[in-house]
Structure 1
Amino acid sequence: MTIDEIIGFVDGLDGVLSLRPAPGDGSPEISWGDTFFYYAPDGVIPATTQPFATVVTKDYPGDETSRLDRPGTFRVNISAGKEAFIRWTGHAPREPATAEVDPGAADTVIAHPVYGTLGWLAVVNPGSRTEAATRELLRTAYGLACSRHERRAQG
């Protein structure tokens, strides 16, 4: 999957707002070129909500183990919930991993190297092995974001 294919897929879900920071928009320079996906049916980024998925194209401070500084490398980060996390990693988010996984391995669903303890999953350069899983996990994260939005709207 390419970055554009991922963005196109997520943008095709109802009520998604994609934030793509760029020079001149007031966003921090480190975020330029990355994409953040929110469930925002009113078209406004929620003030108190984190994105349900992101695509990052570079290492961030404290998050270098995926080695995104390699040419053509990016990572999809997905908040797909505890059940999906357990299904893909074999352990609960706050439990230690049962097997060592290279956080820079391409086309592999892994616990996010920094936010795994919060239940986030990640895929570096999704390809043929993980394309269907990446789409499924993005749909799951989207559904959870929709549910959170509905609960907040009901007060």
Structure 2
Amino acid sequence: MTLEQILTEIRSYVGVLELAPQSGSEHPEISWGDFFFYYAPDGEVPRNRQPYATIVTKDYPDDVESRLDAPDRWRLNIHVGSQLFTDLLGYPPESIEESTVDFSETDTFLPHPLYGAYGWVAVVNPGSRTTTRALAALHEAHLADQRRVERRQARGGAGPRPRLMSPGDHAARAVAANTAQRDENHNDHCREPGHARVREFS
């Protein structure tokens, strides 16, 4: 499955917000070309929580084992929680043995190289072996994020519980912080394909 096909699927989710900083923007260069997904039906980048899924297209300084700097390689990261992590990989997050994992393997469910212990899975270049279950996991992650948001709203806007760091966290936080401070006259826009809200920066 191509990256564009994955994006098309995610963009069909009701209430999804896609944060996609582009090359040359004022956002941190490390985030250019990557994608961060939230449940945010108001179209505003959340300031108090991290994305439920990311797509990264390059190595990060502390995350190089997937070899994403090689041509035509990218990685889908999904926060699935302990139970689904176990179903997909055959062992729970707390049982990861990094010495036995080839984090560069393609079309295979892997623990995220940095955040697997927190219930994040990763797939480098999803293909025929992983696409169906990866799409199902993505949709469930979106619904789980929606449930979290709705629970907080039901509590009357109470602040969120502290959350563990997530894949792309340093980039996502920096981008979200910059977004919160932007003047509305900057050259950013929001478009809505179906029910999805997509924010792109250029």
Name the TM tier (shorter chain). over 0.9
Residue matched to 1:109? 109
Query: Which region of structure 1 is more displaced relative to structure 2, 16-25 or 70-79?
Result: 16-25
RMSD: 1.5
Runs (4+) of structure 1 exceeding 3 A deviation are 96-99
Looking at structure 2, the residues matched to 80 and 99 of structure 1 have their Cα atoms a distance apart, in angstroms, of 22
Residue matched to 1:134? 134
Residue matched to 1:47? 47
Deviation of residue 136 (structure 1)?
A: 0.9
Q: Bigger relative contact order, structure 1 or 2, given CA contacts below 8 A and separation 6+?
A: 2
Counterpart of 1:116 in structure 2: which amino acid? Answer: G
Q: TM-score, normalised by structure 1?
A: 0.94
Gaps of 5+ in 1: none
Structure with greater Cα Rg: 2
Deviation of residue 25 (structure 1)?
A: 3.6
Looking at structure 2, the residues matched to 135 and 96 of structure 1 have their Cα atoms a distance apart, in angstroms, of 23
Residue matched to 1:76? 76
CA contact (8 A) 1:81 1:144 kept: no
Looking at structure 2, the residues matched to 29 and 53 of structure 1 have their Cα atoms a distance apart, in angstroms, of 20
CA contact (8 A) 1:66 1:103 kept: yes
Looking at structure 1, the residues matched to 88 and 55 of structure 2 have their Cα atoms a distance apart, in angstroms, of 19
CA contact (8 A) 2:53 2:77 kept: yes
Q: SS at 1:121's partner residue? A: strand
Gaps of 5+ in 2: 156-202
CA contact (8 A) 2:96 2:111 kept: no
Deviation of residue 99 (structure 1)?
A: 8.4
Give runs of aligned pairs for residues 1-155 of structure 1, distance below 5 A. 1-97=1-97, 100-155=100-155
Looking at structure 2, the residues matched to 43 and 77 of structure 1 have their Cα atoms a distance apart, in angstroms, of 22
Counterpart of 1:79 in structure 2: which amino acid? Answer: H
Deviation of residue 98 (structure 1)?
A: 9.2
Share of identical aligned residues, percent? 47
Counterpart of 2:88 in structure 1: which amino acid? Answer: W
Q: SS at 1:133's partner residue? A: helix
Query: Which region of structure 1 is more displaced relative to structure 2, 24-33 or 65-74?
Result: 24-33
CA contact (8 A) 1:91 1:97 kept: no
Query: Which region of structure 1 is more displaced relative to structure 2, 29-38 or 88-97?
Result: 88-97
Q: How many residues align?
A: 155
Q: TM-score, normalised by structure 2?
A: 0.73
CA contact (8 A) 1:89 1:97 kept: no
